[in-house]
């Protein structure tokens, strides 16, 4: 992709940011006899290019100059990235530096780190970071019994994180948990996959729900308003040796861009990953489309174009393709979106129910 000097300058601002020193740590808010640990020394999950990307970023650093600016900016958000650790501490705190190079304060729910714990053989919500007018966030409401447990801390869905620290009382320990080495399930899509525009908090978007349900590695390459099957982005998707790709870009695409980009995207993925299954997803049906004609025509037009080219590829003998209709996404449920487009927490659970039986065979096969 060709860039003007002005565009290149605006894209590279994030590289310049990393040259800055971190702001001085806040000194108030943490109880006495407590200790801060740099979360980068723990296990970072939800990243496909761990050796090529900055600590909490989803794409490799080289992508900054190779893909359009909009998806690059969206890729900096922490959606799907989590910190995994084991600890016997009875209380946890967090503080983090955002892309304004400031210690974050007063975050909206989608950008409040959320803590889960493995208990009774499954992941359970334990706490959502809380704190007003202070950069020190409590991760749980009160003390819990002292016992070693495994924890999962989801990062903000709509904000970038430069640095994250976890605080625990002095005298207790914390260490990295082991990360599964299986080939991940990769979701590439719009704000609906990203989650920041819809889910009430990290951990409740579609990819996070499925990740915990299967207790299996998932990658969230959802880019709000920025997933249009751009060939530059598809190349990076194809670099990941996933057990299955889910391509869910239709809400960001009209029929014309589907016609131009869908077939080349599938051919590129199939060329680079000839055996990897690909699930193609239609746009959800806008909930107000039964009366708002332009909305109905928008999603039905792009869906029809997708179905047409998908059918042609199947007739040509392209293997490993499957298809999810927009009608099937919510399993027949209604009032599942916030604004006619973006799912509510209930909507995401409906979507998860649709995807669980679709993904189960691929995950089971990869675990054998």
Give 103's pLDDT tier (boundaries 50, 70, 90).
Answer: confident
**The two structure tokens encoding residue 252:** 């960001």
Three-state secondary-structure class, residue 132: coil
Across residues 145-153, what is the average pLDDT?
A: 97
Fold of 21-46+81-176: Jelly Rolls (2.60.120)
CA distances from 142 to 120, 139, 151 (A): 20, 9, 16
Three-state secondary-structure class, residue 330: coil
Q: What is the pLDDT of residue 29?
A: 58
Give 107's pLDDT tier (boundaries 50, 70, 90).
Answer: confident
- 281 φ/ψ angles, rounded to the nearest 5 degrees: -120, 130
Across residues 199-221, what is the average pLDDT?
A: 96
**Residue 168 belongs to what H/E stretch?**
strand 161-169
Q: What is the pLDDT of residue 17?
A: 55
Taking 90 as the threshold, does the pLDDT of residue 76 lie above it? yes
Q: What is the DSSP string of 86-123?
A: EE--S--EEEEEETTSSB--S--GGGS-EEEEEETTEE
Residue extents of the structural domains in the chain: 21-46+81-176, 185-367
Q: Which tens digits make up the pLDDT trace of 229-252?
A: 999 999 999 999 999 999 999 999
Q: What is the pLDDT of residue 106?
A: 77
Query: Which residues fall within 8 angstroms of residue 328, CB to CB, at 6 or more apart?
Result: 354
Across residues 121-129, what is the average pLDDT?
A: 95
State the average pLDDT for the chain. Answer: 90
Taking 70 as the threshold, does the pLDDT of residue 116 lie above it? yes
Does 299 or 17 have the greater pLDDT score? 299
- What b/e sequence results for 128-156 when a residue is b if at least 16 CB atoms lie within 10 Å of its CB, and e otherwise? bbebeeebbbbbbeeeeeeeebebbbbbb
Q: Which tens digits make up the pLDDT trace of 325-334?
A: 999 999 999 9
Give 12's pLDDT tier (boundaries 50, 70, 90).
Answer: very low
Across residues 301-318, what is the average pLDDT?
A: 97
Taking 80 as the threshold, does the pLDDT of residue 127 lie above it? yes
Q: What is the pLDDT of residue 280?
A: 98
Per-residue DSSP letter, 130: B
Q: What is the pLDDT of residue 367?
A: 78
What's the CATH architecture for 185-367? 3-Layer(aba) Sandwich (3.40)
Closest to 76 in 3D by CA, of 194, 208, 216, 183: 194
Rounding to the nearest 10 degrees, give the CA dihedral for residues 103, 65, 6, 75.
-40
């Amino acid at each position: 992709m060709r860039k003007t000097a002005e565009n290149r300058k605006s894209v590279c601002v994030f590289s310049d940011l990393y040259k800055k020193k971190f702001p001085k740590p806040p000194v108030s808010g943490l109880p006495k006899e407590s200790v801060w640990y740099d979360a980068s020394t723990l296990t970072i999950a939800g990243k496909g290019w761990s050796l090529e990307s900055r600590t909490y970023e989803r794409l490799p650093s080289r992508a900054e100059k190779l893909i359009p600016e909009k998806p690059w900016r969206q890729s900096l958000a922490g959606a799907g990235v989590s910190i995994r650790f084991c600890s016997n501490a009875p209380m946890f705190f967090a503080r983090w530096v955002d892309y304004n190079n400031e210690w974050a304060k007063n975050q909206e729910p989608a950008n409040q780190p959320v803590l889960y714990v493995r208990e009774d053989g499954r992941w359970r919500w334990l706490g959502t970071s809380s704190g007003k007018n202070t950069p020190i966030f409590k991760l749980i409401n009160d003390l819990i019994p002292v016992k070693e447990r495994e924890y999962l801390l989801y990062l903000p869905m709509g904000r970038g994180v430069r640095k994250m620290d976890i605080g625990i009382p002095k005298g207790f320990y914390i260490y990295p948990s082991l990360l599964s080495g299986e080939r991940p399930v990769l979701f590439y899509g719009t704000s609906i996959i990203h989650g920041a525009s819809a889910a009430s908090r990290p951990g409740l978007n579609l990819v996070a729900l499925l990740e915990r349900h299967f207790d299996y590695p998932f990658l969230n390459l959802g880019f709000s308003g920025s997933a249009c099957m751009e060939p530059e982005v598809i190349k990076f998707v194809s670099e990941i040796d996933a057990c299955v790709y889910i391509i869910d870009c239709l809400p960001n695409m009209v029929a014309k861009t589907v016609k131009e980009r869908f077939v080349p995207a599938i051919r590129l993925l199939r060329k680079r990953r000839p055996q990897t299954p690909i699930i193609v997803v239609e746009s959800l049906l806008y909930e107000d489309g039964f009366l708002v004609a332009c909305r109905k025509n928008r999603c039905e037009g792009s869906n029809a174009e997708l179905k047409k080219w998908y059918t042609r590829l199947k007739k040509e003998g392209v293997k490993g393709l499957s298809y999810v209709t927009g009608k099937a996404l919510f399993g027949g449920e209604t009032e599942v979106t916030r604004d006619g487009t973006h799912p509510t927490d209930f909507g995401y659970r409906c979507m998860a129910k649709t995807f669980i039986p679709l993904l189960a065979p691929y995950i089971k096969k990869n675990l054998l």
